[in-house]
Structure 1
Amino acid sequence: MPFFRNPTSSFRKRNKKVPRTPYTTTKTMSSEIARLLDTQPDPAARKGFETEMSSFMQTFSRYQSNKEHGIELDWDKIRPPPAEQLIPYESLKSEADLKGFSKLAILKVNGGLGTSMGMKGAKSALEVKNGLTFLDLTVQQVQHLNTTMRTDKYVNHPVRILTFNQSRYPRILKESLLPCPKHAEDESRAWYPLEYLFISNSDNLGAIADPVILQHMIESESDFIMEVTNKTKSDLKGGTLVDYDGSLRLLELGQVPHEHVEDFKSVFNFKILNTNNLWVNLKALKRILDGEGMDLDIIEKTRYTDNGKGVIQLETAAGSAVKHFKQAHGIIVPRRRFIPVKNCADLLLVMSDIYRVENGHLVFNTHRPFQNTPTIKLSDDFKSIEQFHARFKTIPSIADLDLLTVTGDVYFGGSAIFEGL
């Protein structure tokens, strides 16, 4: 791997007082990554770690190159997508040929690690409903799919699940641009030829494999479909699908020039939100990977550690792959297909009687007098999972609630019922 050659000599050069350029910064980062590799003594673990760090170095090098050449989006070329590239879900054929499911694979990604909720592990392991975790509910979804669609030969056996580690990239110290960490720590043969892939976040319990969308993908011969939904006040910072100089692109807040942030957040300019429910034609994906390859857009995010030190996270969004597919478009889906849990206010909503579980996915409470979900605002005293459970001994009934704002260090006990404003 080219980034790890001659680590000793590169490491020595780090101590010389030379102007920081993208080239010298990348070489210094390479030396630090090589040092990190040396902290992993286990050969098997080291091999996987090397793969991760090689991928990280490619991303970091692209990030540095982009900064050096001033590569950024030209705001004047950004427009909302044309109407023909945004298809309303209601306009799709309601009758679907279920045979397509035999060619579909489902990929659930963990998304974030839930650090904003005080979590230190995979968010999919969080209990969210009736003592079940996100992963439990996902398995229920697939079990129901296999049984009703007869898509798996093992319908009377446990669901076959293949797991993998998502890319683990080190955070970067904002001041020095060096890595934060100092130490590293089936049956696989497919029964059917897979042609399509449905990707969604594990914390979005509204994201189930939909036969109507799959049928549309097959009949329209689409290569890539992004599910989008109408923005609300809580989604103003979320990524959106745009037309960029004649082609579809995913636009994230981190890519927007500072002077256009308010333009980006305006629902008058951009009305739709990327749900990260993605449908991919695997044959088209293979053609791209075998050809020009696929460089996903790099998004720079600034975060702060517990001791207040500024760090940079380099992220890539799966949805940014849309720019590589010729036959791509968006489908405007109902809000019920986008029920994410990004904070403890979202968690309260999902755990409450606003929803019930049906075959692993959330179903809206039809007895609620309002068709929208209540607005919930919790103070920082409820920020972490531990704080949340300490203050809510039991989950209150909020079926008749419109707005809840909690400020201060408040504890709720017993069987509480929240109604109105």
Structure 2
Amino acid sequence: MAATTANLPQLKSAVDGLTEMSGEAHHIEWSKIQTPTDEIVVPYEKMASVSEDVSETKNLLDKLVVLKLNGGLGTTMGCTGPKSVIEVRDGLTFLDLIVIQIENLNNKYGCKVPLVLMNSFNTHDDTQKIVEKYTNSNVDIHTFNQSKYPRVVADEFVPWPSKGKTDKDGWYPPGHGDVFPSLMNSGKLDAFLAQGKEYVFVANSDNLGAIVDLTILKHLIQNKNEYCMEVTPKTLADVKGGTLISYEGKVQLLEIAQVPDEHGKLSMNSNQLRSSRYSTQTTYGLTFLKAIKKLVEADALKMEIIPNPKEVDGVKVLQLETAAGAAIRFFDNAIGVNVPRSRFLPVKATSDLLLVQSDLYTLVDGFVTRNSARTNPSNPSIELGPEFKKVSNFLSRFKSIPSIVELDSLKVSGDVSFGSSVVLKGKVTVTEKSGVKLEIPDGAMVENKDINGPEDL
């Protein structure tokens, strides 16, 4: 339920205890940390695959609910409204692709996998209107709102609405860790249990790689795992995330902020971190519905509070958030699964949009699939200047998206635009320094080149 003025004293108490709570989270006893075995973080390739028997697949899917986190706005990319309605590929939005994927499963196997969208107060109204377009699809779409908490004035530790900030900016959604109590409080969890559903697959709506995986679902059902978190190796592009550890006999998420000082506060971008046992990126996963109900009813999900400082209208505020992954230690027989990198394909910026709109990927039945012509297992590194930050500006600077199947890295800065049918290979840097617009001409093939002006083309 949303926080209101009736429980602001409890909120202030939580803020007052923030230092102590954060301290507990940060000072894990290092000697008790163990590297997870393959039984705790299971290699995906060691899981038994699902047979081609349609009835087996239908039985698995009949137990499943797909839940997408839909509370984010597209403001980072210069858009208004829910981020899930940004067009990402062939004129289709994130939400279009999600609905097409589930509809194809339901049609193929004769099942009824529902789609659930967890909205925030920022995205609720727009989403309610948008989902009307899917009325005739073979997908039952449900929505509910996550909680709504007041931002806290940082230097006073008081709720901002109590000081007169009563509009939307005075409040915030408290992170994706809120998915468990909000699903329960919405009444949706009980309704799905009554329908015979057993597991919920949770993922961000902007992660194009987070599709239903029958192999993982089958493994969880057979082994009675209450929680499964998918993890995948980090790359140079990853700046957030934690890793799974074995701690006092249970699997637990370790965030980099929890690494004791004496063991080094490693940069999330450092080679040392990426090559160490910390080098995983969380992609969310599957959770047992009955276990969620039991833990929420018992008020047992005591996840670490993450203080997220922000500045809004010139005021420094705190948002107290929780992460869904931190809940893993409260579930019985919880595991991680070391999944292929293909299951982690988020679109957080226009540089990611360039990747998924290019010939590096193809689109089949709503699924974004990597082009087999790409021999390098890693995606190209893409850095686009501020001129490309907004989706509208990004699109105006490309007559068509360049071919990047053989690209290693691209760095663009300044007033640069690209013609149609451009091919980029190797390491390419394009920098406009003269104050004159620089355009890569139609049909240009640029390979291992630094371009600073028309003379370099």
Matching of residue 102 in structure 1 with residue 55 in structure 2: no
Quickly say closer, same or farther: Cα 1:115–1:334, change in 2 above 3 A.
same
Partner amino acid for 1:130? D
Question: Which structure: greater strand fraction?
Answer: 2
Name the residue aligned to 1:394: 400
In structure 2, the CA distance between the partners of 1:157 and 1:126, relative to structure 1 (3 Å rule), is closer
Write the deviation string for residues 120-139 of structure 1: whole angstroms up to 9, x where unpaired.
42111111001111000000
Instruction: Return 55-64 or 246-255, whichever deviates more.
Output: 55-64
- Contact 1:374-1:402 within 8 A present in 2 as well: yes
Moved more, 295-304 or 170-179: 170-179
Distance 2:369 2:113 in 1: 28
Task: Indicate the residue corresponding to 1:134 in structure 2.
Answer: 94
Could you tell me how far apart the structure 2 residues matched to 1:150 and 1:55 are?
A: 46
Give the aligned partner of residue 364 of structure 1. 370
1:286 aligns with 2:293: yes
Inter-partner Cα distance in structure 1 for 2:425 and 2:236: 22
The aligned counterpart of 2:329 is 323
Alpha-carbon deviation of 1:58? 5.4
User: Are the structure 2 counterparts of residues 117 and 180 from structure 1 closer, same or farther at C-alpha, using a change threshold of 3 Å?
Assistant: farther
Of 205, 208, 213, the residue aligned with 2:208 is: 205
Identity of aligned residues (%): 42
Partner of 1:74: 27
Specify the alignment match of 1:84 in structure 2: 39
Deviations 1:164-217 (Å, cap 9, x if unpaired)?
2233434434333344561235xx865831111111111111111111111100
Q: Structure 1 residues 132, 411: CA separation in 2 closer, same or farther (over 3 Å shift)?
A: same
Alignment of 1:118 onto 2:78: yes
- Output the CA distance in 1 between the equivalents of 2:153 and 2:301: 27
Structure 2 distance, partners of 1:393, 1:57, is: 56
Change (3 A) 1:87 1:127: same
Change (3 A) 1:236 1:156: closer
Give the Cα separation in 2 of the matches to 1:84 and 1:225: 12
Q: Which structure 1 residue ranges, 4+ long, deviate > 6 Å from structure 2?
A: 52-57, 153-156
Distance of aligned partners of 1:134 and 1:314 in 2 relative to their CA distance in 1, 3 Å threshold: same
**CA gap 1:196/1:298 in 2 versus in 1, 3 angstroms:** same
Amino acid at match of 2:146: Q
Counterpart AA for 1:223: E
Equivalent residues of 2:25, 2:258 under 8 A apart: yes
In structure 2, the residue corresponding to 1:269 is in which secondary structure? coil
* Residue of structure 2 equivalent to 1:224: 227
Alignment check: 8 A CA contact 1:124 1:203 kept:
yes
> Aligned equivalents of 1:253 and 1:73: distance in 2?
9
Q: Find the partner of 2:146 among 155, 160, 166.
A: 166
Question: Equivalent residue for 1:384?
Answer: 390
The 2-side partners of 1:52 and 1:203 are apart by: 30
Q: Is the 8 A contact 2:210 2:283 kept in 1?
A: no
The whole-number CA distance in structure 2 between the counterparts of 1:258 and 1:55 is: 36
Question: What are the ranges of 5 or more consecutive residues in structure 1 without an aligned counterpart?
Answer: 1-47
Letter of the 2:225 partner, please give it: S
Shift in CA distance, 152/299, structure 1 to aligned 2, threshold 3 Å: same
Confirm or deny: 8 A CA contact 1:56 1:169 kept in the other structure: no
Aligned residues: 371
**Residue aligning to 1:183:** 166
Asked whether the equivalents of residues 66 and 72 of structure 1 are also in contact (C-alpha less than 8 Å), the reply is no
Partner of 1:240: 243
Structure 1 SS opposite 2:406: strand
Secondary structure of 1:121's aligned partner? coil
> Secondary structure, in 3 states, of the residue corresponding to 2:200?
strand
TM-score by length of 2: 0.73
Q: Deviations over 1:264-323 (max 9, x none)?
A: 761243344243321111122222223353122211223344x66543232211111101
SS, match of residue 314 in structure 1: strand
> SS state of the match for residue 26, structure 2?
coil
- The one-letter amino acid paired with 2:242 is G
Give the whole-Å Cα distance in 2 for the aligned partners of 1:111 and 1:254.
Answer: 25
Check 1:64–1:256 CA distance in 2 against 1; reply closer, same or farther (3 A cut): farther
Distance of 1:410 and 1:56 partners within structure 2: 51
Matches of 2:34 and 2:276, distance apart in 1:
8
User: TM-score under structure 1 normalisation?
Assistant: 0.78
Distance in 2, Cα, partners of 1:371 & 1:273: 16
Shift of the 420–213 alpha-carbon distance from structure 1 to 2, 3 Å rule, reads: same
- 2:404 and 2:359 mapped to 1: Cα distance? 6
Matched with 1:295 is 302
1:46-98, Cα deviation, whole Å (9 max, x unpaired)? xx8x5577788756643431325643332424444334311111111112431
**Range with bigger deviation, 357-366 or 244-253:** 244-253
SS at match of 1:217: helix
Cα distance in 1 between the residues matched to 2:9 and 2:410: 45
| RMSD of Structure 2 on Structure 1 (CA) | 3.0
Return closer, same or farther for 1:52/1:358 CA change in 2, 3 Å cut-off: farther
**Aligned residue type for 2:284:** N
SS in 2 for 1:135: helix
Amino acid at match of 2:230: E
Separation in 1, partners of 2:12, 2:349? 29
Amino acid at match of 2:276: N
**Change in CA separation of 1:392 and 1:295 when aligned onto 2, cut-off 3 Å:** farther
The 1:406/1:73 distance shift into structure 2, 3 A limit, reads: same
